[in-house]
Amino acid sequence: MVSQRAPRLASRLLQCLARGVLGAVCVGLAGAALADVVADEIAGAGFRGETDAYQHCILGDCIEWSALEIVGRATDGALTSRVFEAGAGFVFEDTGARFWDVTGDGQFEVVVILTSLTLGASLAVYDADGLIAQTPHIGQTHRWLAPVGAADFDGDGRIEVAFVDRPHLAKTLRVFEWDGVELVLDAELGGLTNHRIGEIYGSSPLC
């Protein structure tokens, strides 16, 4: 059930939306700037395996990714690498991985857009061992979601992640809270966007 706190929670995010841009500034609401936090477990991440199976072409070309590589750092400092496949019928529809502390444990997780060829985009969260949480797919293929950030936006001690669902169509801010096991829809507010057409590598299709 969606929380009735949507207007209050959304007002925090609107501070970032005021200039039509949401990004690293919102992460600061959690109390620490991204540059001031060091991840001990995840050292890096990147996409692998070019694929043109989806053909949405919203990110400047028609190439998406079939796999996500996560580099971890062991307690002795040694680096390890693991590759996680998107799976049949899915692609990573993204330009780069985000490093957000979604679980609130002081460690970064990897946050990417995992897209179903039939149900559209979702926000997926990985740790060094694999997928740990995922929002529902937006339900419409060849449409996108625009990530906002992760923070304890409402001050309840739990981390929320936010994105704008179809920033030129649905224009709905959705906020999901990490409840210790999964991401649960906590609030949503319509009539918002965090993207201007043409900002993604010169591409101008609606998303």
Burial class (CB in 10 A: 0-12, 13-18, 19+), 146: buried
Q: What is the pLDDT of residue 197?
A: 55
Structure token digits, residue 108:
């970064």
pLDDT average per 10 residues of sequence, the chain (207 residues): 49 47 38 37 94 80 92 90 96 93 95 96 96 96 90 93 86 94 93 64 44
Residue 143's domain spans which residues?
Answer: 41-190
Q: What is the pLDDT of residue 90?
A: 97
- Answer whether residue 1 is part of any domain: no
Q: Which residue shows structure tokens 């444990």?
A: 105
- Answer whether residue 182 is part of any domain: yes
Structure token digits, residue 24:
């690293």
Name which of 137, 133, 112 is nearest 182 in CA terms. Answer: 133
Q: What is the pLDDT of residue 59?
A: 66
Q: What is the pLDDT of residue 95?
A: 87
Q: What is the pLDDT of residue 179?
A: 95
Question: H or E segment at 43?
Answer: strand 42-51
This prediction has a pTM of 0.77
- The CATH number for 146's domain is 2.40.128
Structure token digits, residue 21:
């841009």
3-state secondary structure of 151: strand
Q: What is the pLDDT of residue 45?
A: 96
- Answer whether residue 7 is part of any domain: no
Q: What is the pLDDT of residue 31?
A: 32
Q: What is the pLDDT of residue 104?
A: 94
Q: How many domains does the chain have?
A: 1
Burial class (CB in 10 A: 0-12, 13-18, 19+), 18: exposed
